[in-house]
Amino acid sequence: MMDRVDKKLRVESSRATVRKLGMDFIALLVALIFLFPLYWILISSFKTDVEIFDKNISFWPRNFSFSPWVTQLNDNDFLFSLRNSLIIAASNMVLSTVLGCTAAYGLARFKTPGKRVIILVFLVTQMMPGSLLLTPLYLMFTKAGLLNSFPAPVMAIATGSIPFIVVIMRPFFLSLPKSLDEAARIDGCNAFTSFTRIMLPIARVGLVTCMVFCFLHGWNDLLYSMTFNVKTAMRPLTANIYKFMDKYGTKWNQIMAYGAILVIPVLVIFVGLQKYIIGGLTSGAVKE
């Protein structure tokens, strides 16, 4: 009897292994197809100016060249731009997460009056195309003397990040059980400390996701930073894209190198926080 059960278990476990291997294979296929463009951006950045325009496409550089990377990194403004990108991205992350999470929490856990209107306001403010917010925001920042500064682009970018966080985090906060609230009150917390000491740590997972989103939003911004900050010293990395699209034609290898450089810091942060983002996501926020 035990033998038969044993055998059944073993068959089942090997079936499970085969299934898992099958899924691994499919995953690999999906990854290959989906990530091919990333491969392309990488190897294109190592091609020479001439090879880029060759009609016979090479899947591996014929003349491996570091020159596009050298050009990028040698750029006088590179370090400045890097610093600016970091500042803008980090500031947006802080500003948007703080404002967005508190708002999401308020909407989810309390009988806030006018909830519908408030959510509508958040949604509605998302609905103006960025290119048309440009001129009025520009006029506002001019009057406030904020041109060529960091607050200007950060504040503009945050108008896009905050509603996003509200819409994403609200269902998250809604799903936290009321029992947590009561337990916190019993422990002597008021609404605010209950938020910071109990809820936030539990929502840590979603929080990190939001922070990553906001950081990226700021890091990837082009239009606002470019428009409000004209001084090269105040511009982020994204604004340099126009250097490679001038009247000497589009230099694809330079652009690909530039794109790769823009993504690398993001990848580094992402890999470092992967534990939180990916690991945390599957363990769920609710621990019964």
Partner 1 sequence: MQKLLMRKRDQLTGLVFVLPAILYMLVLMVYPLVYNFILSFRNLTVMNFKNNAAVFIGFENYLNIFRDKDFQQALLQTLWFTLACITVQFSIGFVLAVFFNAKFHLAKPVRGMMLVAWMMPISVTGLLFKYMFLTEGGVINELLKVFGLMFGSPPGWLIDPKLAMWAVIITNCWIGIPFNMLLLTTGMSNISADIYESAAIDGCTVFQKFFLITVPMLKASILSVLMLGFIYTFKVFDLIFMMTKGGPLNATEVVSTYSYRQSFTLFNFSVGSASAIILFVCLMTVGVFYLRMIQKDEAM
Partner 2 sequence: MKKLVVLFLALSLLLSMTAFGVAAEGKVELSLWHYFGTDYEYSDGSIFQKDIDNFNAMQDKVHITYEFVAREDLLRQYQMGAMSGELPDIGMVDNPDMASYIQMGVFADITDQLNAWGQLDQFFPGPLSSCTQDGRIYGLPHNSNCLCLFYDVDMLEAAGQKVPETWSELREVAKALTDPSVGRYGLAISAVKNEEGTFQFMPWFISAGGKLEELNGQGCVEALTFLNDLILDGSMPKDIVNFSQGDCNNQFISGNVAMQVNGPWNVASVKELAPDKNWAVALVPRADNGVHASVLGGENFGITTACKDVDAAFEFLKYLMSKEVSADFCEVAGKFSPRADSTASKDIWVVDPIFSVFADNMQYAMPRGPHPRWPEISTAISVAEHEVFLGAKDAQTALNDAAATVKSILGK
Of 14, 63, 193, 274, which one interacts with partner 1 (CB under 8 A)? 274
* Residue in the structure block whose two tokens are 């059980």: 177
The residue (of 111 and 143) whose beta carbon lies closer to partner 2 is: 143
> Pick from partner 1, partner 2, none: which does 132 bind, CB < 5 to 8 A by kind?
partner 1
* Residues in region 229-268 near partner 2 by CB under 8 A: 230-234, 242-243, 245-250
* Least distance to partner 2, CB of residue 198, Å: 14
Q: How far is the CB of 138 from partner 2 (least distance, A)?
A: 5
Q: CB-based burial of residue 106 (10 Å sphere; 0-12 exposed, 13-18 middle, 19+ buried)?
A: middle
CB 92 within 8 A of CB 218: yes
Q: For partner 2, give the closer residue by CB, 141 or 213.
A: 141
CA dihedral 55, 61, 62, 68 (to 10 degrees): 90
Do the Cβ atoms of 76 and 140 come closer than 8 Å? Answer: no
Binding residues among 76-135 for partner 2 as defined by CB under 8 A = 80, 83, 87, 90-91, 94, 98, 134-135
Q: How far apart are CA 129 and CA 91, in angstroms?
A: 23
Q: Binders of partner 1: how many residues, by CB under 8 A?
A: 106
Within positions 225 to 264, which residues make up the interface with partner 1, using CB under 8 A?
238, 241, 250, 252, 255-256, 258-259, 262-263
Q: At its nearest, how many Å lie between partner 2 and the CB of residue 149?
A: 6
Count other Cβ atoms within 10 Å, centred on residue 161: 25
Asked whether 110 and 102 are in contact (CB, 8 A), the reply is no
Q: How far apart are CA 156 and CA 146, in angstroms?
A: 12
Stretch that binds partner 1, among 6-14, 64-72, 73-81, 98-106 (CB under 8 A): 98-106
Specify whether the CB–CB gap between 199 and 105 falls below 8 A. yes
Residues 6+ apart with CB under 8 A from 63: 47, 48, 51
Per-residue contact flags (x/-) with partner 1 for residues 185 to 214, judged by CB under 8 A: ------x---x---------xx--x-----
Binding stretches for partner 2 (CB under 8 A)? 49-50, 53-55, 80, 83, 87, 90-91, 94, 98, 134-135, 138-139, 142, 147, 149-150, 196, 226-227, 230-234, 242-243, 245-250
